Structure 1
Amino acid sequence: MARYTGPVCRLCRRDGMKLFLKGTRCDTPKCAIERREQPPGQQNYRRNKQTDYGIHLREKQKVKHYYGVLERQFRKYFAQAERAKGNTGDTLMSLLERRLDNVVHRMGFGISRSQARQLVNHGHVTVNGVRTDVASCQVRVGDIVRVKNRAKSLDLARSIISEGAVDVPDFLSVTTEGVPEGIIGRLPAAEDVSIPIETQLIVELCSR
C-alpha cells in the first residue's frame, strides 16, 4: 500500500471528526468537515448502520490517518505494544506519540504532522545534536530535539512558531529563544493524545 496522496479532508469526513491534517486551516470556516459533515461517496447507497467490524476498523483507520502511518507500520507498532508490559492500547498510543515527526509537531515546530515529517526528512531537525532524517525515529526521555542551527532551518521554524498554532503538552519542555529546542520530560501516555481514541476497539480488532 502506497502513502495516501489524495485530499486529506476526505479522511476527516470519512472518520467523522477533525484530525487536524491541515493544521490551522482546520480551525477556520474553510474546514471541509464544517461545510460537509457527511462521509464522502455516493450517499444514496451508503448503509445507515455500521457493523461491529466497521466500528472497530474505523477506530484503527482514524489512528492511522491521524499519525500518517501505513498498515505495515501500524502492525509493527501493535506487535511491539503486545510484547511490552502493561495495557496494550496505552502502549500503542505511547509508541505513536513518540515518533519524531509527531514530537516535532507537538513542540510547535510544524503546523501539521505532514509538515513536521517534511522538516525531519529534509534534515532540519537534530536529536541530541545528531542530524536525524527518519520521521519514525522513537524519542526517549531526556532527548533534546532541536532545529538545525543554520539560517534556512531557523527561518523556517521561526515562521511556523510565530503563528503559535500548537498547544505544547506537558511531557515536553520547549524553548523558542535562540535555536528552538525541546526536551522529552517523560514518556507520553494515552491521555496525551489530543483526539478521543477508544484503544480497546483497536486491540480487539488487531488481536483477531
Structure 2
Amino acid sequence: MGFNTKEKQERALGEKLNLKPIRSFSEKSASTRRPYRPGVHGQARRRLTEYGKQLAEKQKFRVSYGLRESQMRNYFLKAKNSHEATGQAFMSLLERRLDNVVYRLGLAGSRSVARQLVGHGHIVVNGRKSATPSRQVKKGDVIAIREQSQNSPMFAELEKTLSQHETPYWLKMDPKKREGIVSSAPKDLDIPFDISLVVDYYSKTVK
C-alpha cells in the first residue's frame, strides 16, 4: 500500500492516523493540503446518522491498527466475553498486540512498519524471536531488537527517534539497551477515538 492509498484513507476518515511515518503530520500530507474527503463530492457537507457515526469510528480504529474486519470482530467477541468492561477489554486487546507495542515503544515509526519488523524476525520477546504481530504481550514481557538486527540500516536513526519519543505509562523503554518492558496493563488510555461508538457498532452487528 503506497503513500496515495494510505493518505486517501486518512482523508476519507477525516483523521490523521499516522499511517505513514512523519509524512502524516507534515505539510506534504494530503490531509493537510486537502482536508476533505477524496472524490468529486469530497467537500460537500455530510450528515451522519448515529449508525454512520459508529461505522466511521469503527473504521478509524480498524485502519489505525491495520486490522482486517474479521480480526476486529474476533477481538470484540473476546472483549465481550471477558470479565472487564467491553470497551476497556477491547482496547487492551488492541494495545497489547506485539506490533502495536513495538510502535508504542518507538522502535518503529508506524504500526505498519512495526508489523513488518515483527514479521521479518527483527524483534524478540523475552530473548526469543517472535514473528507473530498479533501476539498478546503481558506484564513483565521484555521486547527488544534482535541482536543480529541491531546494526541494520533500518535502525540507523533509532537513537535520535527514541530521544524524542514519549512512551505510554504502561510501558518502560531503555533507549541504551533498545528494549522495553510491559510494566502494567493498558487502562484509561488517552486515545483520539471513541471506543463506546465502536462497541455500540459491534453490539448491533455481531451476535
TM-score, normalized by length of structure 2?
0.90
2:194 paired residue among 198, 201, 207 = 198
Q: Do 1:108 and 1:161's aligned partners in 2 also have CA atoms closer than 8 Å?
A: no
Distance 1:44 1:73, change over 3 A: closer
Cα RMSD, aligned residues only = 1.9
Alpha-carbon distance in structure 1 between the residues aligned to 2:145 and 2:179: 6
Aligned to 2:203: 207
Q: CA deviation at 1:86?
A: 2.3
Q: Do 1:9 and 1:33's aligned partners in 2 also have CA atoms closer than 8 Å?
A: yes
Q: CA deviation at 1:200?
A: 1.3
Unpaired segments of 5 or more residues in structure 2? none
Q: CA deviation at 1:190?
A: 4.2
Aligned to 2:60: 62
Q: Do 2:106 and 2:165's aligned partners in 1 also have CA atoms closer than 8 Å?
A: yes
Q: Do 1:148 and 1:154's aligned partners in 2 also have CA atoms closer than 8 Å?
A: no
Q: Give the paired residue count.
A: 201
Distance 1:29 1:207, change over 3 A: same
Q: CA deviation at 1:158?
A: 4.5
Alpha-carbon distance in structure 2 between the residues aligned to 1:192 and 1:143: 22
For the residue of structure 1 that corresponds to 2:67, the secondary structure is: coil
Alpha-carbon distance in structure 2 between the residues aligned to 1:111 and 1:58: 25
1:28 maps to 2:26: yes
Alpha-carbon distance in structure 1 between the residues aligned to 2:67 and 2:187: 19
Aligned to 1:16: 14
Q: CA deviation at 1:68?
A: 0.3
2:117 paired residue among 116, 119, 134 = 119
Q: Do 2:106 and 2:161's aligned partners in 1 also have CA atoms closer than 8 Å?
A: no
**Runs of at least 4 residues off by over 6 Å:** none
Aligned to 1:168: 167
TM-score, normalized by length of structure 1?
0.89
Aligned to 1:139: 137
- CA deviations 1:110-144 (Å, max 9, x no partner) are 01111111000000000011100000100000000
One-letter code of the match for 1:197?
Answer: F
- CA deviations 1:66-116 (Å, max 9, x no partner) are 100000011110000001112111110111000100000111110111111
- CA deviations 1:12-46 (Å, max 9, x no partner) are 11111110111211221111111111111221796
Q: Do 2:37 and 2:43's aligned partners in 1 also have CA atoms closer than 8 Å?
A: no
Alpha-carbon distance in structure 1 between the residues aligned to 2:43 and 2:151: 51
Aligned to 2:126: 128
Alpha-carbon distance in structure 1 between the residues aligned to 2:165 and 2:141: 20
1:82 paired residue among 63, 80, 83 = 80
Unpaired segments of 5 or more residues in structure 1? none
One-letter code of the match for 1:54?
Answer: G
- CA deviations 1:152-189 (Å, max 9, x no partner) are 44433342342345321111111121x41000000112
